[in-house]
Copies of this chain bind each other. A is one copy, B any other.
Amino acid sequence: MLNFEFYNPTKIIFGKGTVPQIANNIPKTAKILVLYGGSSAEKTGTLKEVRTALTDHQFEEFGGIEANPTFETLMRAVDVVRSNNIDYLLAVGGGSVVDGTKFVAAAADFEGDAWDILKTHGQNITSALPIGVVLTVPATGSEMNSFSVITKASTSEKLGLSSPLVFPKFSVLDPTKAYTLSEKQIANGVADSFVHILEQYLTYPSEALAQDRFSEGLLVSLIDIGPRIVKDRENYDLQSNLMWIATLALNGLIGAGVPQDWSTHMIGHELTARYHIDHARTLVSILPAVLRVRKESKRLKLLQFAERVWGIHEGTDDERIEAAIEKTAAFFEALGIPASLRSYEIDEAGVDAIITQLEQHNMVALGEKQDVTLDVSRKILVESL
């Protein structure tokens, strides 16, 4: 096992009917800004429920945070925070709203150009406003971690920040809030969680028994519920499991003490920035190619993945690995998500453009062994076409 630090102070309030508990978890004296995304928070009634819960609190609202939240929009929220002396942020929505709220929390007190926060990946902040979350989309894990990814619309740059200062103080996870999501949104959430787990699991062995078993347990569970939940979205058992699994997939636990990859995410971010493909779909589109191109480096864990997650015991090592990759791709296709770039009409010139972006963002040594050079990324992209 590798040495590690694990710290996660977010309080999770989980279950049906828990939204009113936000009132007891925010100081009565707080001046709150409620941040949300599009019109769905209003239409589904979640925003109304939040307003009712906050009857005895002072609050303002800021809507319109988009998927892949932009620096430009969020800086307008920072202005609202500053001009209203806001001292508590409540994110109501999915990963984009939570990520955006984390950036607002960090930028509110920041002096100078707030884009510098992202350029230093959050290392230059010394304070942040407290954050609460009412989660409506199970997918990114942002509700229980210290990460945030923000896009600058003017330059199509997508950068991440990570700081213990932006852990939510609490997150309300009511699985019924996900009932109104579309089949595509739920499928994306399953896929996003699945790839989060693989980025922390499919590397090389590090004698971390619990972490491996936890990752495998989450993967097996997603394989169990994924194809069912996209068709049965008002099933509490399925939604509650997806919501908790998505949180556990990226709260630091399964990644503690093990090598981590994240090359699929880094390449995926460039695909989203250039082609506006949903985040989860970019991951799925290149994942089989990542596993095939990097098969030698990941051989031992791919064999473990084949055996423990997919129950594949027959065939040579190479056959079992290929069978596991095929089953993984078929799992995503069954969710309605293409497991290649074919359907996005990207050609070799598009690959060149993505490689240029990776180079511009210094993504030239990715992966658990930092050996995913631009040449390897190119091979992955070409293999995905």
A residues whose Cβ falls under 8 Å from a Cβ of B: 1-18, 207-210, 212-214, 216-218, 220-221, 224-225, 237, 240-241, 244-245, 248, 253, 256-257
| Shortest distance from the beta carbon of A212 to any chain B beta carbon, whole Å | 8
- Please indicate the chain B residues that have their CB under 8 angstroms from the CB of A15 in the complex: 1-4, 257
* Cross-chain contact of A1 among B3, B12, B240, B253 (Cβ < 8 A): B240
Known contacts A213-B221, A244-B1, A257-B244: does B237 contact A207 (CB below 8 Å)?
yes
User: Chain A: interface secondary structure?
Assistant: mixed
- Please indicate the chain B residues that have their CB under 8 angstroms from the CB of A214 in the complex: 213-214, 217
Q: Do the beta carbons of B4 and A14 come within 8 Å of each other?
A: yes
Q: Do the beta carbons of B5 and A8 come within 8 Å of each other?
A: no
- Please indicate the chain B residues that have their CB under 8 angstroms from the CB of A218 in the complex: 210, 213
- Please indicate the chain B residues that have their CB under 8 angstroms from the CB of A257 in the complex: 14-15, 240, 244
Q: Do the beta carbons of A7 and B11 come within 8 Å of each other?
A: yes
State the 5 A-B residue pairs at the shortest beta-carbon distance, nearest first. A213-B217, A3-B15, A9-B9, A7-B11, A209-B221
Name the residue of chain B whose CB is nearest to the CB of A8: B8
| Shortest distance from the beta carbon of A48 to any chain B beta carbon, whole Å | 22
Known contacts A1-B240, A4-B15, A6-B14: does B216 contact A210 (CB below 8 Å)?
no
Q: Do the beta carbons of B208 and A241 come within 8 Å of each other?
A: yes
Q: Do the beta carbons of B209 and A241 come within 8 Å of each other?
A: yes
- Please indicate the chain B residues that have their CB under 8 angstroms from the CB of A4 in the complex: 12, 14-15
9 further interface pairs, Cβ-Cβ under 8 Å (given A9-B9, A207-B237) = A3-B18, A7-B10, A208-B244, A210-B245, A212-B217, A213-B218, A214-B214, A244-B257, A253-B253
Name the residue of chain B whose CB is nearest to the CB of A6: B12
- Please indicate the chain B residues that have their CB under 8 angstroms from the CB of A244 in the complex: 1, 208, 210, 257
* Cross-chain contact of A14 among B9, B225, B253, B256 (Cβ < 8 A): B256
- Please indicate the chain B residues that have their CB under 8 angstroms from the CB of A216 in the complex: 213, 217
Q: Do the beta carbons of A12 and B5 come within 8 Å of each other?
A: yes
Query: 15 A-B Cβ contacts within 8 A?
Result: A1-B240, A2-B15, A3-B18, A4-B14, A4-B15, A8-B8, A14-B257, A207-B237, A207-B240, A207-B241, A209-B224, A213-B213, A214-B214, A214-B217, A216-B217
- Please indicate the chain B residues that have their CB under 8 angstroms from the CB of A8 in the complex: 8-9
* Alpha-carbon separation in the docked complex, A244 to B208 (Å): 9
Name the residue of chain B whose CB is nearest to the CB of A12: B6
| Shortest distance from the beta carbon of A205 to any chain B beta carbon, whole Å | 10
* Alpha-carbon separation in the docked complex, A237 to B216 (Å): 20
Q: Do the beta carbons of A209 and B14 come within 8 Å of each other?
A: no
